[in-house]
Amino acid sequence: MIDSSLFYKLLAQNDTEFFSGVPDSLLKSFCAYLTDTVDGDRHIISVNEGSAVALASGYHLATGKIPLVYMQNSGIGNAINPLLSLADGDVYSIPMVLVIGWRGEPGVKDEPQHVKQGKVTCSLLESMGIPYAVLSDDESLLPGQIEECFKTIRKTSAPYALVIRKDTFAPYTLQNKKAESAQMSREEAIEKIMLTLSDRDVIVSTTGMASRELYELREKHGMGHERDFLTVGSMGHASQIALSIALNQKTRRVVCLDGDGATLMHMGALATVGTRKPGNMIHVVLNNAAHDSVGGQPTVARDIDLSSIAQACGYRKVQTVQDGESLTKALGQSAEGPLFLEVIVTKGSRKDLGRPKASPQENKQALMKFLQD
């Protein structure tokens, strides 16, 4: 395995001092090391991967140095536009190191939403003309791979990718943890929401722990899963799925269970909900100020006023709640939506939290049948 401190040292020797990206479970040790080691102006956890490429580009323009952008391979989609229309050698020719977690690597067991991404990761890089290497977990080979990376970057003045397999980085635990207080866990909040809804209401849950917890809570209470759409991939897009269902199923209440990191990733979606004004939609943001599913790296969601932003976007009612009683009361309102409900919750989840047993296709078919009844 590669020690994050050694990886960082070799990057620093090549004058790479700026880091930005969206955390990934395969990169969580390296990301945690950066959070503990690099000051806030030189390590920015961005809202999405495309923004990270733009931040890195601005850094290079200002300093002439080579920045680093990290992401999960699912985030390549967010980054394609600035990589090809900004950083590419045929446009502005901006050099940067891309560190990409290879979820769904062929032959390695992973969740269904990562399978396709894993199959096409390397071919996507090839199609974009981005040279890459799969980083070895043998530390003796690391200096040579880093040397080749920077040699290529300096020759082409363009991005170069290091693709990271599972367990490449040795474990490292984040030391600089920001305390975020809350009275409810995310799972407790989801349970209260779920039990408050009628048997006609629909839930669209976001990527990561929220969908897993919703699935297990249905199991705990002996309920079926046909009323839920588990958005296991496509981070940041759950609210738009919920919006479209709400607009086309006006006799049902549609609840989007969103995360703070997912909301920040595509925050412009709030404007679409707010201007379409679906009266039957409740947009719940479970705010623990962390990318909880990929190592607990912080978000800025407690440093801004999400409810005021939603109100400015046109939501008819906005509210922030911090306890179970206030949450239940807010859900019982008869006011016309869309309602934006920010729920302050704690970080972390149960150690024994399972994963959905149904496939994404089975989840889809069950929901569609329910909606047609």
- The full set of domains in the chain, from first to last, is 4-164 (3.40.50.970), 186-372 (3.40.50.970)
Residue-wise pLDDT for 60-71, tens only, equals: 999 999 999 999
pLDDT grade for 6, boundaries at 50, 70 and 90: very high
**pLDDT for the residue 348:** 85
For residue 1, what are the CA distances in angstroms to 62, 98, 138?
35, 19, 6
Q: Do residues 339 and 317 make contact, with C-beta atoms less than 8 angstroms apart?
A: yes
**pLDDT for the residue 93:** 98
pLDDT grade for 334, boundaries at 50, 70 and 90: confident
Taking the complete model, does pTM exceed 0.75, yes or no?
A: yes
Mean pLDDT, residues 57-84 taken together: 98
Mean pLDDT, residues 304-313 taken together: 97
Mean pLDDT of all residues in the chain?
A: 95
C-alpha to C-alpha distance for 18 and 65, rounded to whole angstroms: 9
Residue-wise pLDDT for 96-135, tens only, equals: 999 999 999 999 999 989 999 999 999 999 999 999 999 9
User: In terms of Cα–Cα distance, which of 223, 240, 222 is closest to 231?
Assistant: 240
**pLDDT for the residue 179:** 63
C-alpha to C-alpha distance for 189 and 322, rounded to whole angstroms: 10
3-class secondary-structure state, position 35:
helix
3-class secondary-structure state, position 110:
coil
Alpha helical stretches, state H, 83-159? 112-127, 142-156
Residue-wise pLDDT for 221-265, tens only, equals: 999 999 999 999 999 999 999 999 999 999 999 999 999 999 999
Strands 43-45 and 96-101: unpaired
